[in-house]
Amino acid sequence: MVGADANDPGGSAYLFTRNGSLWTERAQVIPLGNRPSAHFGTRVDLSNDGVTAVISADLEAGVPQFSGSAYVFEWQDEQWSEVSPIQRCKGEVFSFYGQAVAISPEGNVAIVGAYWENTTFENGGEAFVFDLTTPPCIGDVNCDGTVDIQDLALLLFYWGQCQDCVDCAWDLDQNCTVGTSDLLILFSHWG
């Protein structure tokens, strides 16, 4: 798999398969959001069996702007399907999250580097490990492991139309609006 992060508009990645000594392009991968200048394809990695891929976009505009993104894709029915974004909870502007990615040989653990993320030191850099076998905690808007009053307060604070439909963390049903349906989802995962 090869990334082409400068491809218009937002970058893409290509899968090649080898037959003897000949490599043949088999598929192009484009994220569902596919936003301009995201640099999707900054880094790519494949599991050993070749059916799970992690692909990053280190300048993707999100929350906050230009905080970077990484995605998991699975090879199903002769095409790549986007399984999920793998995001840290509180990204920072220009932290270059996705400047490095790796997936374990079995495809169950991913690690994503953000070399300009602020830590104890300004731009100290940080890497994030994700267990891909654990589904994300739905409704846990502040990513602290529980769905509680803090998440409710955040959801109410952002009530209304999402500014960015792809990266609106409070829009739990992804209909581009933070509203009653999201509130019901949050309550159904309370605790």
142 DSSP assignment: T
Quote the least distance from Cβ 18 to Ca ion, whole Å: 44
Which one, of 160, 145, 157, 158, lies nearest residue 191 by Cα?
Answer: 145
Least CB distance to Ca ion at residue 89 (A): 9
Query: Residue 167 interacts with Ca ion (CB under 5 A)?
Result: no
Shortest Å distance, C-beta 171 to Ca ion: 4
> Least CB distance from residue 185 to Ca ion, whole Å?
8
DSSP tag of 117:
-
Among 16, 144, 157, 161, binds Ca ion (CB under 5 A): 144
Give the span between the Cα atoms of 61 and 79, in whole angstroms. 26
Tell which one of 151, 155, 169, 186 touches Ca ion (CB under 5 A).
Answer: 151
Closer of 111 and 154 to Ca ion (Cβ): 154
Among 45, 60, 117, 182, binds Ca ion (CB under 5 A): 182
Closer to Ca ion at the Cβ: 92 or 140?
140
Q: How far apart are CA 6 and CA 74, in angstroms?
A: 23
C-beta closer to Ca ion: residue 117 or 182: 182
Cβ proximity of 109 and 103 under 8 Å? yes
Listing DSSP states for 11-32 in one string gives: BEEEEEEEETTEEEEEEEE--S
Of the pair 101, 147, the CB lying nearest Ca ion is at: 147
- 3-state SS class at 110: strand
Q: Does 152 bind Ca ion (CB under 5 A)?
A: no
Specify the 3-state DSSP secondary structure of 103.
Answer: strand
Minimum gap (Å) between residue 186 Cβ and Ca ion: 10
Q: Count the site residues for Ca ion by CB under 5 A.
A: 9
Contact residues for 124 (Cβ-Cβ < 8 A; gap 6+)? 117, 118
Residues that bind Ca ion (CB under 5 A): 140, 142, 144, 151, 171, 173, 175, 177, 182
